[in-house]
């Protein structure tokens, strides 16, 4: 099965009560990467990619977007990076601009 077929394949989950649903989610990969790095700021991008379910190169592009957008800061610590989420930054879309990154992370955080 190709990656494209796997991505578009529908699957049944217990929450669906037997209904078949597509694999889309409400949050973007940018949000997923942000949440993973918030939970573990020292996680290597390869591990972030595995957890989010995208390629390491896609995670690198997302981290670059987030850094250029002023949502995260990257600090080199030895041979690794440490990521700091700038929780006070406002969300980008006008519909949610009254909220900040910290609000979003509180909403989706496991803790």
pLDDT value at position 14?
52
Q: Global pTM?
A: 0.78
For position 84, what pLDDT does the model report?
Answer: 97
pLDDT at 52: 97
**In the predicted structure, residue 4 carries a pLDDT above the cut 60:** no
Cβ-contact 87, 100 below 8 angstroms: yes
Q: Which fold has domain 28-108?
A: Arc Repressor Mutant, subunit A (1.10.10)
Structural domain spans, the chain: 28-108
pLDDT band (50, 70, 90) for residue 23: confident
Per the prediction, the chain carries an average pLDDT of: 87
pLDDT band at 8 (very low <50, low <70, confident <90, very high): very low
Please state, as a whole number, how many other Cβ atoms lie within 10 Å of the Cβ of residue 111: 4
As a whole number of angstroms, the longest Cα–Cα distance in the chain is 49
């Amino acid at each position: 099965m190709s990656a494209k077929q796997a991505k578009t394949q529908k699957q049944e989950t217990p929450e669906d009560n037997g209904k078949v649903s597509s694999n889309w989610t409400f949050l973007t990969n940018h949000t997923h990467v942000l949440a993973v790095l918030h939970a573990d700021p020292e996680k290597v991008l390869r591990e972030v990619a595995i957890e989010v379910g995208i390629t390491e190169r896609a995670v690198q592009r997302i981290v670059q977007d987030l850094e250029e957008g002023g949502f995260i800061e990257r600090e080199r610590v030895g041979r690794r990076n440490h990521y700091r989420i700038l929780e006070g930054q406002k969300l980008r879309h006008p519909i949610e601009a009254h909220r900040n990154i910290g609000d979003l992370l509180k909403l989706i955080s496991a803790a």
